[in-house]
Amino acid sequence: MSDILEIKRPPHFDLDKIFDCGQSFRFEKGEDGVWEGVAYGRVLRASQDEEHVYLNCTKDEYEKLWRRYLCLDADYDVINADIKEHFRYGVIDDAMKAGDGIRILRQEPWETLCSFIISQNNNIPRIKSLISAVCASYGEKFTYDGKTYYAFPTPEAMLSAGEEGLKALKTGFRAGYLISAAEHCVNGLDLCRIRDEYTYDEGLKELCGIKGVGPKVASCTLLFALDKTGAFPVDVWIKKTIDKYFGGHLDISSLGDYAGIAQQYLFYYERSLR
């Protein structure tokens, strides 16, 4: 077994909500209560109790990668206070209470883009199984702790899989969209540059230039991977929320720098009512 790093569990941090709120698709909770998944080409195992969070990494790896990935570098008291200032409707209080503990992960840009391309017109179990199939077929295989895992395929690997190769995995009409995204990335589209140098609006415009990427997929990529916490993805659940609590209209530009985190609270809350 590898080293286990123990860190103090901060307020507003709950692995169950983080991995179950719909932002990521490659983590599963084991019988032992440990969340396991592959990100950035490595296996992460994470568990928690009241006081601590436990991670299968060294202090160095934590500082370099997982601290940021898990968004343990952010102060959610500050973020939550900002959200409360920007939302005047009562539902936000219920949503923040229900969703307390969610953190917006910093996922891999390319993987996130593809994941949300795959998500369209699809349900979550199927999204997960499609992503898993794409990784197993075209991702780099590696071994960790005696078990086999697959990284998410690179844009080059996705391209060489070809539309037919992806369709064989039952991705359907999304296969062409994945190829389109891969072409953009292989031909110079630098997602990290969108993260580091572009505004939200510039990033949205750039991503929507990819065939098969519209406002929803683009804003999910901006929010879940490219550090644009102001991005506010509107899917069917958020549409429902807007109709139900906001009189059918919501001026997204007035919601502040953390609108996307509020969106995730609202999304989680509305789904919890099912």
Residues near DNA (CB under 7 A): 21-23, 119-126, 167, 170-174, 211-218, 220, 233, 235-237, 267
Give the separation between CA 260 and CA 99, rounded to whole angstroms: 13
- 57 vs 161, beta carbon nearer DNA: 161
Residue among 133 and 157 whose Cβ is closer to DNA: 133
β pairing state of 27-29 and 35-39:
antiparallel
Residue 141: DSSP 8-state:
E
Least distance between DNA and beta carbon 241 (Å): 12
Q: Which residue has the tokens 């490595």?
A: 42
Among 230, 233, 229, 199, smallest CA distance to 218 is for: 233
Shorter beta-carbon distance to DNA: residue 52 or 126: 126
DSSP state of 252: G
**Shortest distance in whole angstroms from residue 51 CB to DNA:** 29
Instruction: Name the DSSP letter for residue 244.
Output: H
> Residue 236 and residue 219: Cα distance in Å, rounded?
14
* Helical ranges in 10-75 per DSSP H: 15-20, 59-61, 67-69
Q: Supply the minimum distance, in Å, between the C-beta of residue 236 and DNA.
A: 4
Residue 212 and residue 174 in contact, taking contact as beta carbons nearer than 8 Å: yes
User: Among residues 131 and 217, whose Cβ is nearest to DNA?
Assistant: 217
| 107 three-class SS | coil
- Residue number, 21 or 44, with CB nearest to DNA: 21
Smaller CB distance to DNA: residue 29 or 167?
167
Nearest distance in Å: CB 261, DNA: 13
70: its two tokens: 């898990």
- In angstroms, what is the minimal distance from the CB of 84 to DNA? 22
Packing angle of the helix pair 91-98, 259-272 (nearest 10 deg):
80
Cβ(79)–Cβ(249) under 8 Å?
no
CB of 220 to DNA, least distance (A): 5
Minimal distance in Å, beta carbon 181 to DNA? 11
Cβ proximity to DNA: between 18 and 57 the closer is 18
